[in-house]
């Protein structure tokens, strides 16, 4: 268990460093930076004090702390799949608009 904790914390640390670099280079917005910072800090805390999740589990009426984490993780993952699907759709539409504009412009000159 100790090994897992060390590895996971190392992993979190790496992500936080990357996150910090990106923010410094202004590749991500401050809101996104804060959300992810908060998310990974909580993940780190949970790994160090796994018992902390049992309070939450009891509060929510879910059996074990580990289960709460899995439910939340799944919810978050599904949310992101949904979010990216919509984003992709939006990006597709934007690309189509660009391509269409080019074709209408070129068509005007040629035809």
Partner 1 sequence: MKIVVVIPAYNEEKVVGEVVHAAIKEGFSVIVVDDGSTDRTGEIAREAGAKIYRHIINLGLGATLATGLMAARRYNPDIVVTMDADGQHRAQDIPLLIKPLENLRADFVVGSRFLGKSFRKRDESVPAIRWFYNLFGNLITYFLFGVKTTDSQSGLRALNSRALEKINIQSLEMEVSSEFFKEIKNNNLRLEEVPIKGIYTEYSMSKPDLGKTQNLLTGVKTLFNLFLHRFTK
Question: By CB under 8 A, is residue 92 in contact with partner 1?
Answer: yes
Cβ closest to partner 1, residue 5 vs residue 97: 97
Candidates 14, 70, 81, 96: give the one binding partner 1 (CB under 8 A).
96
Instruction: Count how many Cα atoms sit within 13 Å of the Cα of residue 52 in the half-sphere of its side chain.
Output: 9
What interhelical angle do 52-60 and 30-48 show, nearest 10? 100
Candidates 41, 70, 76, 95: give the one binding partner 1 (CB under 8 A).
95
Question: By CB under 8 A, is residue 41 in contact with partner 1?
Answer: no
Q: For residues 50 and 44, what is the distance between their CA atoms, to the nearest angstrom?
A: 10
């Amino acid at each position: 268990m100790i090994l897992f904790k060390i590895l996971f914390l190392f992993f979190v640390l790496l992500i936080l460093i990357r996150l910090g670099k990106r923010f410094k280079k202004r590749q991500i917005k401050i809101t996104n930076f804060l959300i992810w910072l908060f998310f990974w800090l909580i993940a780190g805390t949970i790994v160090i004090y796994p018992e902390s999740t049992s309070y939450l589990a009891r509060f929510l009426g879910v059996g074990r702390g580990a289960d709460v984490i899995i439910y939340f993780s799944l919810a978050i993952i599904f949310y992101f799949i949904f979010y990216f699907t919509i984003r992709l759709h939006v990006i597709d539409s934007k690309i189509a608009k660009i391509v269409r504009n080019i074709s209408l412009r070129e068509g005007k000159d040629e035809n």
